[in-house]
Amino acid sequence: MHVGHHLGRFRQFLLFLQPRRFSGRLRHSARSQDPEGSFRPGAGRLQEAECVLEQLCHLRSCGDGSGAAQRRAEGADGAHQGSLCRTVRQLPGVEERQRHPPELSSARPEATMEASRDISGLIDIMAALRNPESGCPWDIVQTFETIKPYTIEEAYEVADAIERKDTDDLCDELGDLLLQVVFHARIAEEAGAFSFGDVVHAITRKMIRRHPHVFAVSDAKTEDAVTLQWDRIKAEEKRERAERRHKSGIVEDFKAGYLGSVQRSFPALTEALKLQERAAKVGFDWSAPEPILDKIEEEIGELRAALASGDKAKVSDELGDLIFAVVNIGRHVNTDPEQALRGTNTKFRRRFHHIETTLEAEGETLEGASLERMEEIWQSAKAIERQLTGVRTA
């Protein structure tokens, strides 16, 4: 077995211990379940460390029977192997559990599946992972609820790759998100609810139905006409869905009223935007951006009063009102508040990193620098941005 393979896994593991995002497989190791089903954060990390340590040290001492492993160990990878083993042993709990390492085979296990460009290959892999007899212990015990956080995380990582214009990473992250879809579909199929094929059928049927101007005969020729047609078809689908679920005895008490179609699970900024868009469809909206700016100033005044009162609940309430009004101004100028804030976050990261690297070059630290010096460097970062873009930045 190739030493570099295990070193690569170990490097991934070290990244995992740091506050950075990590691969989907290591993410599986991040949280393990005890016999009662509750999560034990970090237990998977220890197991991963032990597994890598065992295989690294085994290869170091045994080789692969041909001398190739020993020759590789004497190269770049091998130069760090002893220190890597020592590093892992220093992790809490590892040294004690390494006193009786399991026997390992030096033979490389043959893969029972190969990578494929066909979606059926991924579906087959998930079925194998969920196999109660021969599957992966982690994958077997997962439910809709336990993998939901990963699904949300993967969607954000797709957005992050797009934001960074990293198409290589985007391909990888889209694969991770697709895995989540296949995972949920597999769990549903095992429960007799629906299959991946049903998911594909539902979305293809929906897209064909919502685009009669493409797949059928329609008078909608302009963008506005297509939008009105889309909304009308969605309303019809909503009524049909409600009737179908009512006949099935499904009570939707959490979706009451006209705004019920706006999911509460959205990020708060997105939920606010969609609530406002939904209300605007029936005329409950500001006539122009200017009155919203007046509303924002009003909310700022109310926030000042709340801060002066020292009432934390009131402060929270007024802060929420202010943010909601700011979202409204973004909607009126066709600017997604979520994307706008992400852009500002990126700008803040970039400028703060400039502060950090400048101080480091001066032999100074963030902790030791004065606020005045950091503000000075911050302003220099803004000046650099103006020179590069020709745009005055805030």
Q: Round to whole Å and give the CA distance between 317 and 312.
A: 9
Q: Give me the domains of the chain, ranges plus CATH numbers.
A: 119-218 (1.10.287.1080), 268-392 (1.10.287.1080)
Q: In b/e form, how buried is each residue of 245-281, taking b as 16+ CB within 10 angstroms? A: eeeeeeeeeeeeeeeeebeeeeeebbebbbebeeeee
Q: Round to whole Å and give the CA distance between 203 and 181.
A: 13
- Do 16 and 30 touch, CB atoms closer than 8 A? yes
Q: Round to whole Å and give the CA distance between 247 and 249.
A: 5
Residue ranges with strand state E in the chain: 31-33, 39-41
Helix axes 223-247, 196-210, angle to 10 degrees: 140
Q: Round to whole Å and give the CA distance between 292 and 294.
A: 5
Considering 42-46, 68-72, 200-204, the range whose residues carry the highest mean pLDDT is: 200-204
Average pLDDT over residues 244-265: 75
Work out the pLDDT band at 51, boundaries 50, 70, 90: very low
Q: In this predicted structure, which of 125-129, 148-152, 280-284, 388-392 has the lowest mean pLDDT?
A: 388-392
- At 160-207, the pLDDT tens digits run 999 889 999 999 999 999 999 999 999 999 999 999 999 999 999 999
Q: Round to whole Å and give the CA distance between 241 and 230.
A: 16
Region for 4 from its dihedrals, namely left if φ exceeds 0, alpha if ψ lies in -120 to 50, beta otherwise: alpha
- Model pLDDT, residue 35: 39
Residue 285, Cβ neighbours under 10 Å: how many? 15
CA 272 vs CA 254, 328, 365, 372: distances in Å = 17, 8, 40, 37
Residue with tokens 């101004």: 329
Average pLDDT over residues 71-82: 42
In a 13 Å sphere around the CA of 267, the CA atoms on its Cβ side amount to 13
- Model pLDDT, residue 392: 67
- Model pLDDT, residue 59: 42
Is the pLDDT assigned to residue 22 strictly greater than 60? no
378 sits in which H/E element = helix 371-389
SS3 category, 308? helix
- Model pLDDT, residue 393: 65
Please give the residue that has the higher pLDDT: either 258 or 25: 258
CA dihedral 64, 107, 45, 147 (to 10 degrees): 150
Tell me how far the alpha carbon of residue 373 is from its chain's centroid. 35
User: Which residue type sits at 82?
Assistant: G
Work out the pLDDT band at 25, boundaries 50, 70, 90: very low
This prediction has a pTM of 0.53
- Residue 9 neighbours by CB under 8 Å, 6+ apart: 48, 52
Across all residues in the chain, what is the average pLDDT? 78
- Model pLDDT, residue 216: 84
- At 118-167, the pLDDT tens digits run 999 999 999 999 999 999 999 999 999 999 999 999 999 999 999 889 99
Please give the residue that has the higher pLDDT: either 297 or 88: 297
DSSP letter (8 states) at residue 80: T
- Model pLDDT, residue 239: 84
